[in-house]
Amino acid sequence: MKIKSYGHFTPYQGDVAAYAFFRNEHGHDWYDLQRGKVAGIGKLVELGPKGAFVKSPHAVWLVVDPEGRVINVEVDPSRIVPRDKTVLGIDGASPGDFSAGMIFQGGQILPAPPAPPAPYYINKETPWMRMTDEEAEAVDVAYNAASVRFRQSYNSAVSLRPDTALWDEWRTILVGVLGEPRTDQLLERE
């Protein structure tokens, strides 16, 4: 697989105010590159008489955001709008070899990192239902001693989610009364 970078393109004011223009760090206009108007670089796209895509010099085109993530896979570079993006031409590969989320780093296309696990939710009554009567009575005492702000937030919630302050405060109360291992059991996924 061979990767050719056409650079990172940023917007600039062209000669027609109603159109968006983009140029790379070498000062090359994206649309001039497509039409073959940049010395030493052939046409990037050949269109038919009615403007339909015919061919380009690369099998695949990738659009990469400033963080290096592939955001678009194309065959027709005339469909690319490279606002604040890097454009790559790829040979020796097919469009199916790439997908959004892959990473362009060190001149290579790397697999997409795994998505972070989605936070889970549990119904707020789930921990109560999992407690013994004795545990529930002890937790109720600690709950009623908690701040009004916490109790009002807890009372208005439908569910609990681990990436929230409400979860953290609820967990602190449970750990204080029942210990960490039991709290983890009470707050497990449903």
pLDDT tens for each residue of 23-70: 999 999 999 999 899 988 889 988 888 888 899 999 999 999 999 999
Which amino acid type is present at position 154? Y
Name the band, by pLDDT with cuts 50, 70 and 90, for residue 126.
Answer: very high
pLDDT at 21: 92
- Rounded Cα distance between 179 and 177, Å, is 6
- Rounded Cα distance between 73 and 63, Å, is 7
- Rounded Cα distance between 21 and 30, Å, is 7
- 168: part of which helix (H) or strand (E)? helix 165-178
CB 10 within 8 A of CB 26: no
CB atoms within 10 A of CB 187: 18
- Rounded Cα distance between 136 and 128, Å, is 6
